[in-house]
Amino acid sequence: MLTAHRHCPGSPTSIKATVVYPATEKHIQKYLRQEVHLIRETWEDYKDITLPFIQSQSFSIQWVYNILEKKAEADRIVHENPDPSNGFVLVPDLKWNQNQLDDLYLIALVHRRDIKSLRDLTAEHLPLLRNVLQEGKEAIGKRFGVPGSQLRIYLHYQPSYYHLHVHFTALGYDAPGSSVERAHLLADVIDNLAMDSTYYQKRALTFPLRADEPLFKKFQEAGKV
């Protein structure tokens, strides 16, 4: 049994694989049955549990930098705003084969390398986020003919990798990770930050974790599950 997780556009280094061989029915059932639970993470939980966990892991995001530096997938770029502070690169997600629009899926990777996730965002990032929303819609409309009103544009929390990125999926596509317990509409994020620059350093955030994920164990150890 090979279960590959590749959430993102990127070089083969972004593949995390769990190989179970030979895979008995029991193995498969155990994998499939892993329970998922919701975590309600306060800002204190983030600082005390999640942030130290992220920092302790050596998540490689070299594949992101390779795209941003045109060392990989340069021919796949749909749009770029090259501004180092407020710019980004828009590429088709590797899950989308581009043969049909039904499951359209693109990713915007920001040029800035200092924003891990939603938790780091403040009003300072509004120009960047507005560029992603506006230019991303325009570029997809131009290239693929899909209007902005038929795009679901959102961030994940927790993200699969800690370099800020935004998902663009076809509204009619029930994309994995587009449920309310993981997705945050970019338009909502922008309005929340415009209303209160420290919104994401105040608000508790919900996200799902499988019971066998290391971060789940950290929350469990802290008595938060």
Catalytic residue numbers read 165
**Beta-strand pair 183-185/16-19:** unpaired
Contact segment (CB under 8 A) with a copy of itself among 49-57, 78-86, 98-106, 197-205 equals: 197-205
Contacts of 32 (CB under 8 A, 6+ apart): none
- 8 Å CB contact between 107 and 160: no
Residue 190, strand partner residues: none
Of residues 76 and 184, the one with the C-beta less far from a copy of itself: 184
User: Which position among 63, 96, 154, 162 is part of the footprint of a copy of itself (CB under 8 A)?
Assistant: 154
On the 0-12 / 13-18 / 19+ scale of CB atoms within 10 A, 109 is buried
The answer to the question of residue 185 lying near a copy of itself (CB under 8 A) is: yes
The answer to the question of residue 214 lying near a copy of itself (CB under 8 A) is: no
Of residues 68 and 166, the one with the C-beta less far from a copy of itself: 166
The answer to the question of residue 180 lying near a copy of itself (CB under 8 A) is: yes
Tokens of 135: 């230019």
The answer to the question of residue 152 lying near a copy of itself (CB under 8 A) is: yes
Euclidean distance between CA atoms 16 and 103, whole angstroms: 23
User: Which position among 48, 184, 197, 201 is part of the footprint of a copy of itself (CB under 8 A)?
Assistant: 184
Secondary structure class of 142 (helix, strand, coil): helix
- 8 Å CB contact between 110 and 132: yes
User: Which position among 191, 212, 214, 221 is part of the footprint of a copy of itself (CB under 8 A)?
Assistant: 191
Judged by the rule CB under 8 A, the positions of this chain that interact with a copy of itself are 35-40, 147, 149-152, 154, 171-172, 174, 178-181, 183-185, 187-188, 191-192, 195-196, 202-204, 206, 208, 225
